[in-house]
């Protein structure tokens, strides 16, 4: 199974406006509004027998974290504006997401999964480009920087099946963020 941990993000009016604009970019693979998510930890290939342990890692990683609101702000890209390959929406204060990501990293590493070497930068991938398009980011200059608030009340373990039509994600386990919730 190809697995990852994520927070789903419903597409509000600001995100829909950006997605519509991206649909007009030749060579852009724009994500569907109902498939938007922030990846907290990509696990990769795992044996199905590991799923119960990975579910426990998720439950422990969100222990003591209450539902919260995050603000999506600005459009950016990786690796840099002169040669964009991935277009994303940023998260204004990703401190709680970073905490969860660090806990997931620690828990999965203890199970023998490869640790991520890159610094976690919470972002919402909106599109991938077949080739860099210089000047692409200027197309978003007239859009509002504030893309809306999103309430986060759960974190999911998902499987990803790669198909010719794109990735199909299935929820494997959901951890609900609850006030005062503790997991041992």
SS3 182: coil
Task: Please give the full DSSP string across 65-92, using - where no structure is assigned.
Answer: PPPEEEEEEEEEEES-TTS-SEEEEEES
Is 169 an annotated catalytic residue?
no
Alpha-carbon span 27 to 129, nearest angstrom:
6
Marked catalytic residue, from 2, 25, 37, 98: 37
Q: Give residue 85's pLDDT.
A: 93
Residue 59: Cβ within 10 Å count: 19
Q: Give residue 62's pLDDT.
A: 97
Is 123 an annotated catalytic residue?
yes
Q: Give residue 77's pLDDT.
A: 92
pLDDT in tens, the chain (184 residues): 999 999 999 999 999 999 999 998 988 999 999 999 999 999 999 999 999 999 999 999 999 999 999 999 889 999 988 899 999 999 988 899 999 999 999 999 999 999 999 899 999 999 999 998 888 998 888 888 889 899 999 999 999 987 776 678 899 999 999 875 554 4
> In the CATH hierarchy, which fold is given to the domain comprising 2-176?
Cyclic Phosphodiesterase; Chain: A, (3.90.1140)
Marked catalytic residue, from 123, 156, 158, 173: 123
Q: Give residue 141's pLDDT.
A: 87
Each domain of the chain, given as residue ranges in start order, spans: 2-176
């Amino acid at each position: 199974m190809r697995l990852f941990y994520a927070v789903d993000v419903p597409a509000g009016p600001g995100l829909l406006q950006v997605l519509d604009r991206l649909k007009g970019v030749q060579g852009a693979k724009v994500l569907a509004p109902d498939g938007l998510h922030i990846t907290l930890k990509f696990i990769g290939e795992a044996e199905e027998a590991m799923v119960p342990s990975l579910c426990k890692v998720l439950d422990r990683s969100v222990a003591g974290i209450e539902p919260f609101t995050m603000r999506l702000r600005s459009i950016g890209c990786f690796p840099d504006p002169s040669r964009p390959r991935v277009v994303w929406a940023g998260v204004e204060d990703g401190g709680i997401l970073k905490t969860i990501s660090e806990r997931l990293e620690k828990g999965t590493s203890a199970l023998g999964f490869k640790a991520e070497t890159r610094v976690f930068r919470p972002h919402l991938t909106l599109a991938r480009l077949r080739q860099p398009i210089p000047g692409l980011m200027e197309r978003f200059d007239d859009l509002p920087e504030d893309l809306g608030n999103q309430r986060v009340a759960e974190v999911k373990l998902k499987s990803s099946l790669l198909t010719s039509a794109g990735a199909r994600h299935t929820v494997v386990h959901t951890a609900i963020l609850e006030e005062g919730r503790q997991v041992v």
